[in-house]
Amino acid sequence: MDIRHDLSNNRFVMLNDKGAETGSLVYDVEPDGNLIALHVNVSPELQGQGAAGLLLEALLAYARKNSLKIFPVCSYVAKKFSQNPDAYSDVAR
């Protein structure tokens, strides 16, 4: 699996070995530059295998690299942030 940042469309995209999209994490950018995690979508065959977590890790890496905060509107991201607040305290808003 390959994860790419589609910066022009505010999303991280997961591609399989054949280049087909198998998942995405969509975000919005606030006026101050911080991020709003809107939605994570993973194809049914990858659900429960950590694919959503990989997409979240890509968003986290981007936020950390750019000193941005993330507001978790997406229920998956909100759940991860609430389950382990110490791990995300540097990026949670």
Cα–Cα dist 30/87, whole Å:
23
Rg of the Cα atoms in the chain: 13
Q: Where are the domains of the chain?
A: 2-88
Q: Pairing mode, if any, of strands 35-42 and 70-72?
A: parallel
| pLDDT at position 49 over 90 | no
pLDDT category, 23, cuts 50, 70, 90? Answer: very high
Residues 6+ apart with CB under 8 A from 5: 11, 12, 13, 58, 62
**Residues 36-65: what's their mean pLDDT?**
94
The CATH architecture that domain 2-88 belongs to is 3-Layer(aba) Sandwich (3.40)
**Does residue 12 contact residue 23 with C-beta atoms inside 8 Å?**
no
Q: Is residue 15 scored above 90 in pLDDT?
A: yes
Across 30-52, average pLDDT: 93
